[in-house]
């Protein structure tokens, strides 16, 4: 008796599944590439020398640039990182390395809640806490952004450290290395790629935030004038410029969008090159 030709049937099924998977992938990539295409196509005409060296033009003025917004964004993100990264890093270490501690379950729970809070609410919180006492300022914006950052950093650091097997820690402890040194020099070092990736993701996330920036810093058309004053911001520029009726500003909005994407990409690449190890 001849066996039915299951092989051919299986082959067809395999091909169909393969095709489906690829179609899904293509479907997911379409929006990504169309956004990129749109931003690049519309943003490039805005890019020229003035764009990088001149501040926001006055209404009706020709030309101008977003140099003040690039400056302001870098300063704000920088300050937010200085607050957010250490706190997030240490909470992550605490949750991963001292998970037997009673507090860790509670901290993990609230951290998860925090990461789910809409960013505008965090902005309003910063407004109530800081803006009302010292006014719209870089400090207030950086504070709000750092609070958005902390749960992301905490979670990714915790996950990254947990990927280092327990017996690596035991090996270090058995060598007579104190526990905190084990965590810093062995565990954190072993997980540094994943840790840095998590931090980069959080930076990219806050670089694109506009709502909390709006309520803590407002729109600022001039150069950076001190941490207790507002500063210009790329994400906010996009929002304000795009809503405006002025053609010049709309062009600048597209340019800002392109620069924001490139900025995030640039930070990513730069840090990756910096931490690129041999292993």
Partner 1 sequence: MAPKLEVEDLNAWFGTKQVLKNINIKIEENAVTAIIGPSGCGKTTFLRCLNRMHEINPDARVSGKVLFNGLNIYGNGVDPVMIRKKIGMVFQKPNPFPMMSIYDNVVAGLKLNGVRDKKSLDAVVRRSLELVNLWDEVKDDLNKSGASLSGGQQQRLCIARALAVEPEVLLMDEPCSALDPISTAKIEVLIRKLAKTYTIVIVTHNMQQAARVSDYTAFFYLGELIEYGPTKQIFENPKHELTEKYITGKFG
**Residues found near partner 1 in the complex (CB under 8 A):** 100, 164-165, 167-168, 170-178, 181-182, 185-186, 189-193, 277-279
Residue 120 Cβ, how far from partner 1 at the closest point, in Å?
Answer: 40
Per DSSP, the residues of 257-273 read HHHHHHHHHHHHHHHHH
Residue 2 vs 276, nearer CB to partner 1:
276
Angle at 264 between CA 28 and CA 88, to 5 degrees: 100
Residue 193 Cβ, how far from partner 1 at the closest point, in Å?
Answer: 8
Residue 167 Cβ, how far from partner 1 at the closest point, in Å?
Answer: 5
Residue 145 Cβ, how far from partner 1 at the closest point, in Å?
Answer: 30
Which residue has 């750092």 as its token pair? Answer: 146
Residue 84 vs 190, nearer CB to partner 1:
190
Q: Encoding tokens for residue 99?
A: 């998970």
Residue 186 Cβ, how far from partner 1 at the closest point, in Å?
Answer: 6
Which residue has 């207030």 as its token pair? Answer: 140
- Count CB-CB contacts under 10 A for residue 205: 15
Residue 184 vs 243, nearer CB to partner 1:
184
Helices vs strands, H then E, count in the chain: 14, 0
Residue 78 vs 178, nearer CB to partner 1:
178
Residue 122 Cβ, how far from partner 1 at the closest point, in Å?
Answer: 35
Distance CA 42, CA 44 (A): 6
Scored b (16 or more CB within 10 A) or e, 60-98 reads eeeebbbbbbbbbbbbbbebbbebbbeebbebbbbbbbe
Residue 142 vs 164, nearer CB to partner 1:
164
Residue 28 vs 273, nearer CB to partner 1:
273
């Amino acid at each position: 008796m001849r066996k039915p030709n299951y092989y051919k049937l299986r082959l067809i099924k395999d091909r169909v599944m393969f095709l489906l998977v690829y179609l899904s992938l293509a479907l997911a990539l379409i929006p990504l590439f169309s956004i990129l295409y749109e931003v690049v196509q519309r943003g490039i005409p805005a890019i020229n020398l003035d764009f990088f060296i001149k501040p926001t033009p006055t209404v009706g003025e020709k030309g101008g640039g977003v140099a003040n917004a690039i400056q302001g964004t870098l300063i704000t993100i920088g300050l937010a990182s200085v607050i957010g990264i250490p706190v997030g890093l240490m909470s992550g270490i605490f949750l991963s390395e001292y998970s037997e501690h009673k507090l860790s379950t509670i901290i993990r729970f609230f951290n998860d809640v925090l990461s789910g809070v809409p960013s505008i609410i965090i902005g309003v919180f910063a407004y109530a806490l800081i803006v009302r006492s010292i006014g719209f300022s870089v400090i207030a914006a950086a504070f709000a952004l750092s609070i958005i950052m902390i749960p992301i950093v905490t979670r990714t650091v915790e996950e990254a450290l947990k990927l280092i097997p327990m017996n690596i820690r035991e090996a270090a402890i058995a060598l007579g290395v104190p526990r905190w040194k084990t965590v810093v020099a062995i565990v954190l070092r072993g997980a540094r790629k994943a840790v840095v990736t998590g931090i980069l993701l959080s930076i990219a996330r806050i670089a694109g935030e506009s709502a909390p920036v709006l309520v803590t810093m407002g729109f600022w058309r001039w150069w950076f004038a001190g941490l207790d004053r507002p500063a210009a911001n790329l994400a906010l520029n996009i929002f304000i410029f795009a809503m405006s009726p002025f053609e010049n500003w709309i062009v600048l909005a597209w340019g800002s969008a392109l620069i924001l994407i490139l900025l995030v990409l640039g930070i990513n690449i730069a840090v990756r090159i910096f931490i690129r190890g041999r292993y």
